[in-house]
Amino acid sequence: MGWLEGKTALVTGGGAGIGRAVVDRYVEEGAQVGVLELVEERVDELNDEFEDVHAIQGDVSEWADNERAVAETVEEFGQLDVFVGNAGIFDDAIHMSDLTPDEIEAGFDELFRVNVLGYMLGAKAALPELLETEGSMVFTASYSSFYPATGGFLYTSSKHAVAGIIRQLAYELAPKIRVNGVGVGYSPTNLSGIDALGQESSSAVPEEIDKRYPLTISMPEEYAGYYVLLADERNSRASTGTIIEADSGLSIRGADEPAGGTDL
């Protein structure tokens, strides 16, 4: 019997990277899983591969898509026990000094709509069903939710905001709903860049990043167990407002950036 037997989860951005690893592991642990995914080909792939997955194409930054994902997941599986807010984009570690004011505004609008507003809307849409089951929320936070120098000016700011979402919702929704996060380190997840800045996605592991970590770079599937733990009240009942730092030891060493991190 799996840890999540009889539970239903909804995972945003579940078609690739860490989100896909969480979907795979949740199914392995006995859960039924709804997925809100932007890329239609990934939606088709998930629906073709799994009997216990119902994937929906949509945009996490749109309220109607979040609402529809919750409704379809409950219609398909009868309940919702876990909401996993995971969809996100990256900023290619860009520095403020390399951005014009117009680029800051355009990058902020695009990245924060996905990384912050997407989590807020997903949580809001899932709330009524989670109150019924006294379920839980698990969000993908980051090393960048605590420290600088692995993301850029926009991404790091957004992941600090995610830490605020986790702690505020944990406070607001206790005692019925637990709210926690996983502060992941770098992983080759093909995270999309900011379209407005002409950035592309990449899954390559830069050599200079690999050398910073006391442990080896973790693959997406190596993070999935943390999401299982936080979704299972039998093994994490005492945790809310917690962000597990799963960063391959980077926080004990730092990012090895020189002071200032760039030449101005």
What is the per-residue pLDDT across 39-53, written as a single tens digit (0 to 9) for each? 999 999 999 999 999
The model's pTM: 0.94
Domain segments of the chain as ranges: 8-252
In the chain, which residues have pLDDT < 50? Answer: 203-205
Give the pLDDT score at 77.
98
Please pick, among 143, 155, 186, 223, the residue that the annotation labels catalytic: 155
Give the pLDDT score at 209.
62
Give the pLDDT score at 95.
96
Euclidean distance between the first and final Cα of the chain, in Å?
57
Active site residue 223: no
Give the pLDDT score at 258.
53
The fold adopted by the segment(s) 8-252 is: Rossmann fold (3.40.50)
- 160 contact partners, CB below 8 Å, separation of at least 6: 144, 145, 146
Cα distance between residue 41 and residue 39, in whole Å: 6
The two structure tokens encoding residue 97: 């000094």
Give phi and psi for 121, each to the nearest 5: -65, -40
Give the pLDDT score at 30.
98
